[in-house]
């Protein structure tokens, strides 16, 4: 039974699951032990690689320096509204239902049936809409609500799975269907005492039929528990919330769908936006950053090789410019590796600092469509889509 074998492989690949009886792996650490777990997250999130923020674990962006184009699972950020459910692929079913199906009768897929469909493999980023959110406050002096991520609510992986378009066609999607709404199997999300139900968010049929994957593998291994085991959606280029984990069902509709994740959250609200908020967010934006801790110290009088990454959800990266004097002068960084199909691009630049003192390092990506990072991001109350040039303070000693 392929499903069972796959689950056993997943367990073998996750040593922490020797404690499978305790799904949340929240065994209280002793006073002196290093905390390497987070509430509701199964995998270890050691402090050298992660910062725990509530039910979430942010990757330390600077530690991407020793990773290649793909982010290993043990470095990949976790964003959980509640907690990771430990699901068995053998019992899993996907239900596709709604008035947007020809027969209007729900159609079910087992894990084995999904794996028997033609598979696609592609590298893609998952980036939270709020990645960089804390910079609205630290860099622009503006207050925003939400998890105060720095730059590590992002990771790139090689995803393998079935095409959502194949599944929707097999289920009999009608030609006048307009929206689909995938929903997770994790616990309902309660905010401010209100039960918002299980995580779900509509997606246009146009996007659903384009390049969305029902992923069951991440970097060549069965999808790990924290990243959606047994099956998650991967919606390339869109805000992370679109890539619903622990997928349980998909509604298909002839009329537009909505959820709190498309009405109250994941829209832009504030003075610069329409009174009822912007349209629901779809595409992510563009960013670049140094793989250095904020406040790093660098030795004067020797040449450092500064490294970073750049990415854009609009088009391939074309160039990265850097400034090592607070933005007075700019020069191009050297791009490493291919840019056309890479989810993000690594870059480097040599720098020989002179005297001691504080310095602000800047980087600015420009993509092939001509988009470039602005000096300031346009404020929105929930701090989404931070796209401004990051001001990276370091000290030369
Ligand atoms: N079912 C479900 N899907 C979810 C979430 C969740 O809490 N529950 N979080 C979303 C958000 S906000 C993000 S940014 C990504 C994070 O994916 P990761 O935890 O695999 O990095 O998953 C999305 N899919
Ligand atoms: Mo997110």
The DSSP annotation for 63-103 comes to GGGG--SSPPGGG--B--SS------GGG-EEEEESTTBSS
Of the candidate CATH numbers 3.40.50.150, 2.60.40.650, 3.40.5.10, 3.30.70.260, the domain formed by 286-396 belongs to: 2.60.40.650
Nearest-CA residue for atom 23 of ligand 1: 241
Q: Binning pLDDT at 50, 70 and 90, where does residue 341 land?
A: confident
Whether pLDDT at 379 is above 50? yes
The mean pLDDT of 314-332, rounded to a whole number, is: 97
Based on its alpha-carbon atoms, the radius of gyration of the chain, rounded to whole angstroms, reads 22
Give me the residue label for tokens 């696609």. 120
- For the 2-263 domain, the top CATH level (class) is alpha beta
- Quick one: pLDDT at residue 337? 87
Give percent of the chain with pLDDT exceeding 70.
91
Give the pLDDT confidence of 187-203 residue by residue, as tens digits: 999 999 999 999 999 99
Instruction: Tell me which residue has its CA closest to atom 2 in ligand 1.
Output: 245
Confidence class for position 355, pLDDT limits 50, 70, 90? confident
- 316 CA → ligand 2 middle, Å: 22
Per-residue pLDDT at 29 exceeds 80: no
- List, for residues 125-179, the tens digit of each pLDDT value: 999 999 999 999 999 999 999 999 999 999 999 999 999 999 999 999 999 999 9
pLDDT of residue 34: 55
Residue ranges per structural domain of the chain: 2-263, 286-396
Q: Is the pLDDT of residue 15 over 90?
A: no
What distance in Å separates the CA atoms of residue 148 and residue 131, rounded to the nearest whole number? 8
Distance 160 CA to ligand 1 centre (A): 18
Answer yes or no: is pLDDT of 86 > 60: yes
Rounded CA separation 106/110 (Å): 13
């Amino acid at each position: 039974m392929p499903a069972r074998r796959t689950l056993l492989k997943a367990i073998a690949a996750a040593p922490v699951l020797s404690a499978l009886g305790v799904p949340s792996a929240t065994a209280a650490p002793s006073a002196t032990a290093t905390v390497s777990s987070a509430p509701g997250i199964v995998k270890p999130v050691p402090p050298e690689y992660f910062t725990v923020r509530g039910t979430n674990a942010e990757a330390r962006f600077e530690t991407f320096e020793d990773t290649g184009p793909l982010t290993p699972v043990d470095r990949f950020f976790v964003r959980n509204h509640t907690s990771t459910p430990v699901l068995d692929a053998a019992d899993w079913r996907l239900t596709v239902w709604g008035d947007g199906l020809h027969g209007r009768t729900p159609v079910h897929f087992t894990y084995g049936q999904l794996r028997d469909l033609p598979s696609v493999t592609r590298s893609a980023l998952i980036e939270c809409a709020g990645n960089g959110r804390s910079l609205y406050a630290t860099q622009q002096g503006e207050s925003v609500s939400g998890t105060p991520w720095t730059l590590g609510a992002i990771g790139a992986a090689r995803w393998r799975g079935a095409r959502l378009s194949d599944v929707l066609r097999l289920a009999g999607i009608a030609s006048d269907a307009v929206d689909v709404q995938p929903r997770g199997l994790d616990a309902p999300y309660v905010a401010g005492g209100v039960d918002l139900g299980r995580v779900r968010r509509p997606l246009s049929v146009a996007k659903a039929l384009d390049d969305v994957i029902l992923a069951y593998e991440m970097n060549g291994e069965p999808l790990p528990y924290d990243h959606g085991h047994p099956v998650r959606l991967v919606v390339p280029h869109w805000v992370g919330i679109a890539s619903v984990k622990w997928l349980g069902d998909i509604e298909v509709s002839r009329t537009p769908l909505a959820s709190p994740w498309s009405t109250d959250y994941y829209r832009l609200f504030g003075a610069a936006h329409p009174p009822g908020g912007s349209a629901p967010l779809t595409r992510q934006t563009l960013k670049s950053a140094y793989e250095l801790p904020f406040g790093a110290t660098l030795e004067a009088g020797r040449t450092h090789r500064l490294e970073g990454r750049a990415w854009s959800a609009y088009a391939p990266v074309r160039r990265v410019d850097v400034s090592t004097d607070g933005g007075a002068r700019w020069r191009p960084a050297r791009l490493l590796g291919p840019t056309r199909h890479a989810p993000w691009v690594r870059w480097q630049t040599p720098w020989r600092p002179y005297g001691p003192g504080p310095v602000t390092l800047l980087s600015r990506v420009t993509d092939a469509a001509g988009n470039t990072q602005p000096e300031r991001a346009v404020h929105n109350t929930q701090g989404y889509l931070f796209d401004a040039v990051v001001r990276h303070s370091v000290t030369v000693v």
